């Protein structure tokens, strides 16, 4: 096979593999809901979606939550995290739910997964469905031009950084998270442009994984890109039920291929 030359700009990661059981007819992918107490319409849309979906499995590819400051936040009975977990737990009784970290909820840990009855998914993972291979990723790792973020990501994913962050009192962590969010909001307002997925790196990943399709979120730029002959990059939509028009969408995989399904707001 003749592959286009792709400069190796990043180390190709190790790919976990998940083979879909043969009884799965449809799989849904969602990401970037950025669930938060201040956006109740999106939370309601998520609940409505979970209660109504006919998918045989749900894959959440990161940034389900706007922020996750530690699994102990779930133990506060009336916390937003406890509520989010209850929604997931109810859904997980009907269908398998898989959760991949995003750059906002990367601190969601084993207690979160166990408490919600959902399964963690490594980034990246290859899903084998109907004899085809799909690379699943949040997508942040592929935004190579975002050099400052890549540096932060490396640090924040280390055991030492996480241990140090998590030893602080919950209230302190919540305050810190608010500060980081305000900074990011200010950056957005300033019109700063965000890096997009690096095409050569995405191609390198797909070739290494033996896959024809990469499905990711993170960039909030939903589109289907053909990167090279037979290689496509499919970008999930973020969710915002209060936007005009609302952004609520799932990507559904079946034997017919991939299809974007708009969801009706409540």
Q: Which of residues 69-108 bind Mn ion (CB under 5 A)?
A: 102-103
Q: Which of residues 211-230 bind Mn ion (CB under 5 A)?
A: 218
In the complex, minimum distance from the CB of residue 19 to Mn ion, in angstroms, rounded to a whole number: 27
Q: Which of residues 164-203 bind Mn ion (CB under 5 A)?
A: none
Binding site, annotated residues: 32, 34, 63, 103-104, 138, 146, 184, 218, 220
CB 17 within 8 A of CB 125: yes
In the complex, minimum distance from the CB of residue 134 to Mn ion, in angstroms, rounded to a whole number: 19
Angle, helix 40-52 to helix 80-92, in steps of 10 degrees: 10
Whole-angstrom Cα distance, residue 31 to residue 29?
7
- Residue 238 DSSP class: P
Residue 48 corresponds to which tokens in the numbers above?
Answer: 């409505």
Residue 157 corresponds to which tokens in the numbers above?
Answer: 């994913």
* # binding residues, Mn ion (CB under 5 A): 4
The residue (of 218 and 233) whose beta carbon lies closer to Mn ion is 218
Whole-angstrom Cα distance, residue 160 to residue 164?
6
The residue (of 218 and 247) whose beta carbon lies closer to Mn ion is 218
The residue (of 108 and 129) whose beta carbon lies closer to Mn ion is 108
Whole-angstrom Cα distance, residue 134 to residue 18?
10
Q: Which of residues 44-73 bind Mn ion (CB under 5 A)?
A: 63
Q: Where are the alpha helices (DSSP H) in 53-169?
A: 80-92, 110-116, 147-156, 159-166
Whole-angstrom Cα distance, residue 186 to residue 206?
35
In the complex, minimum distance from the CB of residue 138 to Mn ion, in angstroms, rounded to a whole number: 6
Could you give the string, one character per residue 132-151, with x where binding to Mn ion holds by CB under 5 A and - elsewhere? --------------------
The residue (of 6 and 125) whose beta carbon lies closer to Mn ion is 125
For the chain, count helices (H), then strands (E).
Answer: 7, 12
The residue (of 102 and 115) whose beta carbon lies closer to Mn ion is 102
In the complex, minimum distance from the CB of residue 162 to Mn ion, in angstroms, rounded to a whole number: 18
Binding site, annotated residues for Mn(2+): 32, 34, 63, 103, 138, 218, 220
Whole-angstrom Cα distance, residue 12 to residue 205?
6
**Residue, CB closest to Mn ion:** 218
Chain positions contacting Mn ion, by CB under 5 A? 63, 102-103, 218
């Amino acid at each position: 096979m003749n592959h286009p030359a792709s400069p190796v700009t990043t180390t190709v990661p190790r790919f976990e593999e998940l083979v879909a059981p043969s009884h799965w007819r449809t799989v849904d992918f969602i990401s970037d809901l950025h669930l938060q107490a201040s956006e109740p319409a999106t939370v309601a849309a998520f609940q409505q979606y979970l209660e109504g979906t006919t998918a045989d499995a749900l894959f959440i590819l990161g940034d389900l939550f706007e922020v996750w400051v530690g699994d102990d936040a779930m133990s506060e009975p009336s916390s937003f995290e406890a509520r989010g977990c209850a929604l997931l737990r109810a859904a997980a009784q009907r269908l398998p739910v898989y959760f991949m970290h995003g750059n906002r909820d990367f601190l969601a840990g084993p207690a979160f997964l166990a408490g919600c009855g959902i399964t963690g998914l490594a980034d990246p993972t290859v899903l084998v469905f109907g004899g085809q291979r799909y690379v699943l990723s949040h997508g942040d790792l592929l935004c190579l031009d975002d050099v400052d973020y890549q540096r932060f990501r490396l640090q924040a994913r280390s055991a030492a950084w996480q241990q140090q962050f998590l030893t602080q009192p919950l209230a302190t962590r919540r305050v810190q998270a608010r500060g980081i969010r305000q900074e990011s909001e200010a950056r957005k307002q300033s019109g700063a442009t965000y890096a997009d997925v690096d095409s050569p790196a995405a191609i390198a990943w797909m070739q290494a994984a033996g896959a024809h399709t990469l499905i990711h979120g993170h960039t909030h730029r939903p589109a289907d890109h053909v990167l090279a002959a037979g290689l496509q990059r499919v970008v999930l939509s973020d969710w915002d039920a209060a936007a005009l028009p609302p952004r609520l969408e799932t990507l559904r995989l079946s034997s017919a291929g991939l299809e974007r399904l708009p969801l009706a707001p409540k």
